[in-house]
Amino acid sequence: MSEDLKTIKELADEWGITKQTIQYHIKFLPTENRQKNDSGITVLTLEEQWIIKKRIKRKDKNKQTENRQKNDKKQTENRQEKLTVNSVLLEQVSDLKEQNNDLRKLLDQQPDRKQTEK
C-alpha cells in the first residue's frame, strides 16, 4: 500500500479535525475508483486529500469572513448606540445649562437679603 494513501481517521488526526468533517467532504468527490486498503477501510489518494483540504480551507476562509462581517456589524451598532447616548447626554447638558441660567436670573432679580434685613 502506498504511503500516499491515507484513511479518513489518519487524515482527521493529521489535520486536527473530526472524521465526520472529512466524510462530509468525501461526498463531493467523484465516487468512481474509491480505494480500500487490505482491511477494507476507505483510503484517499493524494489528489482526493488535496481536494478535501482545499474545500476545508475555503470553508474556513468563508467562516472567518462571515465572523469578521458579524463583528464589524456589532461594532457599528455599538458606535451608533454610543452616538445616540452621547447626543442624549449633550441635550441634557444643554437643558441643565439653560435651567442654571434661568435660576441665576431669578436669583439676580431677588433683592439682596442683607440690604432688606437692615
**Short-list 75, 23, 14, CA closest to 48:** 23
pLDDT band at 1 (very low <50, low <70, confident <90, very high): very low
The residue behind cell 482545499 is 54
Which ranges in the chain belong to alpha helices (H)?
A: 8-15, 19-26, 46-109, 113-117
**pTM, to two decimals:** 0.49
Half-sphere exposure of 114 (CA within 13 A, CB side): 0
pLDDT of 19: 95
User: In this predicted model, what pLDDT tens digit does every residue of 9-56 receive, in sequence order?
Assistant: 999 999 999 999 999 999 989 877 788 898 999 999 999 999 999 999
